């Protein structure tokens, strides 16, 4: 497996494994055989990388438990999860449900295949490479025991290695966190000390983050890191040095805006309106540059008067606030 490091939104890098085409085919074949077997053992509270489940299901479940009064939240973060999965423990978990020796040998060979960087190669003693076809399924298998242990006593919602536990009291939350730490230690994993905390979702002014959202006092907001990442992406696609027309800029921007809206459309309308305003300011900055190049003075009248919201709508700019209003009218 070739390993490359890709930048993370919050800084630093994430190692990504890039398998060969042949490896991908073999991994997919293994996945097709073992996934239906393990699907029968997974809890409903596990939503990541499973058939007909996704982030929206996880977020909906969190909202249900919060409204039911489970306001104390264990906000957990596993430190370097994919890189620290024990091969020995992983194989023992798989062997509980799979008896075929050839398949088990193939799976073990996948876990121990050489990792290559530009300068060297080595055989890993732990971990499963992110980016591989099998990795998400194996990640779910490894944490399935935790789902049953904690989920049998508390309200736990998990998406891959991102999970929270919801309880009705601080004492319950502390007890749940202690049990999670104990399980992690037995499975050669560790909770991130700076990113794991207990939060009262009704009193804490910052709320808690989960899957790109911030849950705060019964309302949904875009997580600050997600908002900053989106603004950075918009800046990248609205550089004034691109040398293309404004219609081309908008055409390239619209799919990004639609994708972001489809995921974050459940936040307060004011957040969508603020993002729309930021986008139009970036576009007006481009038009101001074009105007100056053409001999215009640029700021004789306000940009918002010269290039109105209606003007951008006429160019086909996707507007999140309007899309939200349209969706509300059609319900």
Tokens of 126: 């732990």
Same domain for 228 and 210: no
Domain that holds residue 177: 2-216
Same domain for 191 and 260: no
CA distance to 8, 264, 283, 305, per residue, from 295 (Å): 42, 41, 19, 19
148-202 pLDDT, tens digit per residue, is 999 999 999 999 999 999 999 999 999 999 999 999 999 999 999 999 999 999 9
Mean predicted lDDT score pLDDT of the chain:
89
62-88 pLDDT, tens digit per residue, is 999 999 999 999 999 999 999 999 999
For range 315-326, the mean pLDDT? 95
Same domain for 185 and 105: yes
Same domain for 236 and 199: no
CA distance to 119, 155, 211, 259, per residue, from 184 (Å): 33, 18, 21, 35
Whole-angstrom distance, CA of residue 89 vs CA of residue 229: 36
Q: At what angle do helices 269-293 and 246-264 cross, to 10 degrees?
A: 170
pLDDT surpassing 50 at residue 5: no
Q: Residue 223 contacts by C-beta under 8 Å, 6 or more apart in sequence?
A: 209, 212, 213, 214
Asked if residues 26 and 121 have their Cβ atoms less than 8 Å apart, the reply is no
pLDDT surpassing 90 at residue 330: no
pTM score of the predicted model: 0.84
Same domain for 178 and 245: no
Domain boundary among 173, 188, 216: 216
What pLDDT sits at residue 13? 53
**What torsion do the CA atoms of 106, 110, 114, 117 make, to the nearest 10 degrees?**
150
Q: What total number of domains does the chain contain?
A: 2
Per-residue pLDDT band at 120 (split at 50, 70, 90): low
What pLDDT sits at residue 112? 84
6-58 pLDDT, tens digit per residue, is 455 555 554 555 567 788 898 999 999 999 999 999 999 999 999 999 999 99
Look at the chain and count its residues.
331
Same domain for 101 and 197: yes
pLDDT surpassing 90 at residue 272: yes
Same domain for 168 and 236: no
Q: Which has more pLDDT, 32 or 115?
A: 32
Q: Which has more pLDDT, 266 or 140?
A: 140
What pLDDT sits at residue 292? 75
What pLDDT sits at residue 1? 47
What pLDDT sits at residue 248? 96
Q: Which of 2-11, 97-106, 138-147, 172-181 has the lowest mean pLDDT?
A: 2-11
200-258 pLDDT, tens digit per residue, is 999 999 999 999 999 998 889 999 999 999 999 999 999 988 888 999 999 999 999 99
Q: Which has more pLDDT, 206 or 131?
A: 206
Same domain for 262 and 237: yes
Same domain for 184 and 68: yes
What pLDDT sits at residue 124? 62
Strand partners, 17: 3
Same domain for 228 and 209: no
- Give me the percent of the chain exceeding a pLDDT of 70: 87
pLDDT surpassing 70 at residue 291: yes
Domain boundary among 185, 216, 247: 216
For range 274-286, the mean pLDDT? 96
Same domain for 126 and 99: yes
Query: Which of 205, 221, 215 shows the shortest CA–CA distance to 269?
Result: 221
What pLDDT sits at residue 122? 44
What pLDDT sits at residue 249? 96
CATH, residue 68 = 3.30.70.270
Q: Which has more pLDDT, 278 or 15?
A: 278
Q: Which has more pLDDT, 300 or 283?
A: 283
Domain boundary among 216, 234, 258: 216
Same domain for 275 and 159: no
């Amino acid at each position: 497996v070739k390993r490359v490091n890709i930048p993370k939104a919050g800084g630093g890098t994430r190692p990504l494994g890039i398998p060969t085409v042949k490896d991908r085919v073999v991994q997919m074949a293994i996945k097709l055989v073992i996934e239906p077997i393990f699907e029968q053992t997974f809890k409903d509270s596990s939503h990541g990388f499973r058939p007909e489940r996704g982030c929206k299901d996880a977020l909906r479940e969190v909202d249900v438990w919060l409204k039911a009064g489970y306001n104390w939240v264990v906000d957990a973060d596993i430190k370097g999860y994919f890189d620290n999965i024990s091969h020995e423990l992983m194989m023992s978990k798989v062997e509980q449900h799979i008896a075929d020796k050839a398949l088990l040998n193939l799976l073990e060979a996948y876990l121990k295949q050489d990792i290559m960087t530009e300068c060297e190669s080595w055989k890993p003693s732990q971990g499963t490479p992110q980016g591989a076809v099998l990795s998400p399924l194996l990640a779910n298998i490894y944490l399935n025991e935790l789902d049953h242990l904690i989920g049998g006593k508390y309200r736990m919602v998990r998406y891959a290695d991102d999970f929270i536990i919801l309880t009705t009291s601080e004492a319950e939350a502390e007890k749940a966190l202690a049990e999670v730490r104990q399980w992690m230690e037995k499975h050669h994993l560790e909770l991130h000390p700076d990113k794991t905390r207990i939060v009262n979702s009704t009193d804490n002014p910052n709320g808690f983050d989960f899957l790109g959202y911030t849950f705060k006092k019964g309302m949904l907001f875009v997580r600050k890191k997600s908002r900053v990442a989106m603004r950075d992406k918009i800046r990248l696609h609205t550089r004034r040095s691109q040398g293309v027309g404004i219609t081309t800029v908008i055409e390239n921007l619209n799919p990004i805006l639609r994708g972001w809206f489809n995921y974050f459309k459940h936040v307060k309308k004011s957040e969508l309106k603020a993002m729309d305003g930021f986008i139009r300011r970036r576009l007006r900055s481009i038009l101001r540059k074009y105007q100056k190049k053409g001999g215009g003075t640029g700021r004789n009248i306000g940009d918002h008067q010269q290039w109105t919201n209606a003007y951008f709508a006429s160019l086909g700019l996707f507007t999140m606030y309007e899309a939200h209003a349209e969706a509300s009218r059609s319900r």
